[in-house]
Amino acid sequence: MTSAAASGSATAALPTRFCGIELAHPIVNGSGTFDAIAAQRAFGPALVEQFPFAAFVSKTVTLAPREGNPPPRLWELPAGLINSIGLPNKGLAGYLTHDLPELAALPVPLIVNVMGFTRDEVAELVSAFAERDEVAALELNVSCPNVETGLIMGADPAETALLVERVRPLTDKPLIVKLTPNATDPGAVAVAAEAAGADALSLINTIRGMALDPRTHEPWLGGTTGGVSGATVRAVALAQVYDVAGRVSIPLVAMGGVQRGRDADDLLRAGATLVAVGTESFRDPLAGARVADELTRIRRPDARPGARARG
Amino acid sequence: MSAGALAVTTDDGRRTLAPPGRRRVTVLARQQFGAYAVLRCADPGGPPPRPGQFAMLATAERWGGGDGERPFLPRAFSVLRARPGELEFLLEDVGPGTARLAELEPGDGLWVLGPLGIGFSVAASELAGRRALLVGGGVGIAPLAILQDELVASDAAVTALLGFRDGLHAAGAALLRDARIATDDGSAGHAGLVTDLLTAELDRDQAAIVYACGPPPMLEAVRALCAGRAVPAQLALESGMACGFGACFGCVVPTRSGYVRLCLDGPVLDADRLETALTPGAGH
Ligand SMILES: Cc1cc2nc3c(=O)[nH]c(=O)nc-3n(C[C@H](O)[C@H](O)[C@H](O)COP(=O)(O)OP(=O)(O)OC[C@H]3O[C@@H](n4cnc5c(N)ncnc54)[C@H](O)[C@@H]3O)c2cc1C
Ligand SMILES: Cc1cc2nc3c(=O)[nH]c(=O)nc-3n(C[C@H](O)[C@H](O)[C@H](O)COP(=O)(O)O)c2cc1C
Ligand code: FES
């Protein structure tokens, strides 16, 4: 893997090992917040040459294609965003045919995020990717209801355990369970996921929120409610990462409101191994590379270009 | 002044690729045209945009983060005009983001990501001897100015029809050449809608191609009018955007073939791709 050389960051030098995967630095993207294929249409090959992340996490894939929620899908907050995107995607077959070959050509390892509405659906998705060499790891998005029980899979420790136990034997690839912050006790879900065989956990997903149309006073978002992300959730993310890190021993991918190297450093100090940049990429596509550079300056002052000149 | 970066175009010449990061540029001038402000900035590193492309803008200072108020995300603006190494944008103050941008003074910093999206098609095959009718409403006249520059330079026959609320807004018509004007309150030009002017033009001679940008009801009227007469039309739509480069899936508009991300597959769409140009949550 050529990840170290190809990372878009000019100065980031924080080699990181995550579930056996070697990364140039600990900054990845949050699922659904960067479309590496669309970005190449907008920016051309320069995007790949300056690829901002040390690994690429693709948007949630479901078994069947999804159109997503009706617009409007976005509501801006002071220092944040509510989205009700609704997980639009081409479905498993469409992803394997159209997206996987292009994403496999990226200069960094690929992590595929999947979600199902039943345990069988998740199992089918995991099995399909288990045999693909292009895929370095799998992330399970458990922020959705199990249509058979009506429970949000990731909101309940027992539901989460049943799901992870079901899919764990289906793949040797690292399994990352993406926790939802909309649970009574995310730490308890984390403990259950670890006990059921998860290799890593990622957190936080977006926090449920809503906005009313200032003119009609009806819900603004086409999906009625949505998920809050961005700087405004940073303190919540830090608290949940700190709590979960104290209760499990598997590595964590931390995210939520990361805008600067300092925010990433906080999450690493709270116990994370990787940090994902989400909403901040909307403000600057190369935010991930900037965060990695800033983090390098914080963690390795010796690696600062100016330091050598002085010495 | 540098002649700008080397441009690579894709999508049949309708998209100039953008550099992958936002870049900090300097405001050279701000000029008022009635209710609108024109922001001119130095953009030595930016490639020349195609007409109809847009950029995501944010001020370099005091844009979110400060006291925690909006704006937080960058805002989408059509390129009004481009000269080598320079970009112009047209702003209407409708909320916190546009208000902050409209305060910028010469020397201030501006973040620019762009040019983005797919612009108008001005291929000779598209024009095919037809005259170009540019139909603009309000601040939607912006992409028609750069389009008119290009069409005039290629000796195409062009007529600009622009609609505004009132005389204060109609001052924006000075940004295009020889524009015919309609105002809602009759204070300048034809008293009524710009689509009245379009109907009269098409009644006179239907051998035309329509390029339109404006508020959703205007675009929908243009779409219906052109569809009824089998006149080809390209519409520059608007929708709420967070990223502008296809990352968030937030800007979708419904088309006959499902939702498309307006920032990636638009903002200019062929009118016959649309059931309606009335897109939810867009406009003001
Ligand atoms: C491709 C494209 C090109 C454009 N070109 C131009 C141009 O050339 N010139 C120009 O002046 N404008 C242009 N616009 C429109 C411009 O982007 C918007 O006017 C601007 O984003 C408004 O930001 P604001 O903060 O001033 O107003 P906002 O407060 O964001 O209000 C704008 C509208 O957004 C909705 N809204 C209100 N509050 C929120 C909220 N919290 N979150 C989400 N939505 C909200 C409402 O419908 C409101 O009317 C363009 C838009 C697009 C998509
Ligand atoms: C527009 C948008 C779309 C998202 N889509 C997904 C998704 O498809 N799957 C997923 O697991 N998380 C998704 N997320 C959640 C992010 O990956 C991340 O967990 C969250 O936004 C917090 O990070 P941030 O504050 O840095 O954005 C999405 C977030 C946003 C803002
Ligand atoms: S604005 Fe984000 S996908 Fe179009």
Domain residues of chain B, as ranges? 3-116, 124-273
Torsion angle (degrees, nearest 10) of CA A225, A80, A213, B60: -160
Contact between B1 and B87 under an 8 Å Cβ cutoff? The reply is: no
Give yes or no for A22 touching B (CB within 8 A): no
Q: Which fold has domain B3-116?
A: Elongation Factor Tu (Ef-tu); domain 3 (2.40.30)
Task: Match domain A16-299 to its CATH number in 3.10.20.30, 3.90.950.10, 3.40.50.300, 3.20.20.70.
Answer: 3.20.20.70
Q: Are B247 and A50 an interchain contact pair (Cβ–Cβ within 8 Å)?
A: no
How far CA A226 is from CA of A62, A180, A185, B258, B282, in Å, comes to 19, 13, 20, 21, 18
Q: Are A158 and A193 in contact (CB under 8 A)?
A: no
pLDDT digits (tens, 9 = 90+) for A238-286: 999 999 999 999 999 999 999 999 999 999 999 999 999 999 999 999 9
B67 confidence band (pLDDT: 50, 70, 90): very low
CATH architecture of B124-273: 3-Layer(aba) Sandwich (3.40)
Tell me which residue of A275, A258, A286 sits closest to A80, measured CA to CA.
A258
* The model's pTM: 0.95
**Contact: B245, A70; criterion CB under 8 Å:** no
The minimum-distance atom of ligand 2 relative to the CA of A234 is: 25
Residues 87-126 of A with CB under 8 A from B: 88
Tell which B residues from 54 to 73 touch A, by Cβ distance under 8 Å. Answer: 58, 64-65, 68-73
Model ipTM value = 0.94
- How confident is the prediction along chain A (311 residues), in pLDDT tens digits per residue? 334 444 556 566 899 999 999 999 999 999 999 999 999 999 999 999 999 999 999 999 999 999 999 999 999 999 999 999 999 999 999 999 999 999 999 999 999 999 999 999 999 999 999 999 999 999 999 987 777 777 788 999 999 999 999 999 999 999 999 999 999 999 999 999 999 999 999 999 999 999 999 999 999 999 999 999 999 999 999 999 999 999 999 999 999 999 999 999 999 999 999 999 999 999 999 999 999 999 999 998 876 554 433 32
Distance CA A144, CA A136 (A): 24
Cβ contact (<8 Å) for A68 and B259?
yes
Of ligand 2's listed atoms, the one at least distance from the Cα of A231 is 25
Among the partner residues B18, B240, B264, nearest to A72 by beta-carbon distance: B240
How would you classify the pairing of strands B208-213 and B233-236?
A: parallel
Q: What are phi and psi of A261, to 5 degrees?
A: -55, -35
* Type of residue numbered A54: A
Q: Which helix (H) or strand (E) holds A57?
A: strand A56-57
In terms of DSSP H, where are the helices of chain A? 3-6, 36-43, 46-49, 91-94, 100-104, 119-130, 157-167, 186-195, 234-245, 261-269, 280-283, 287-299, 305-310
pLDDT at A10: 58
- Tell me whether A10 touches chain B (CB under 8 Å): no
State residue A201's pLDDT score. Answer: 98
The CB density around residue B174, as the number of other CB atoms within 10 Å, is 11
Mean pLDDT of B251-276: 97
How distant is the Cα of A169 from the closest Cα of chain B, in angstroms?
33
Pairing of strands A207-209, A226-229: antiparallel
Gap between the Cα atoms of A89 and A92, Å rounded: 9
CB pair distance less than 8 Å for A78 and B247: no
Residue B11 has phi, psi (to 5 degrees) of 50, 55
Report which DSSP code applies to A96.
Answer: I
pLDDT digits (tens, 9 = 90+) for A144-175: 777 777 778 899 999 999 999 999 999 999 99
Residue of A29, A40, A41, A62 to mutate when probing chain B, most B C-beta within 10 A:
A41
CA distances from B276 to A222, B193, B234 (A): 18, 19, 13
Percentage with pLDDT > 70 across chain B: 95
**3-class DSSP state for residue A93?**
helix
The answer to whether the beta carbons of residues A161 and A213 sit under 8 Å apart is no
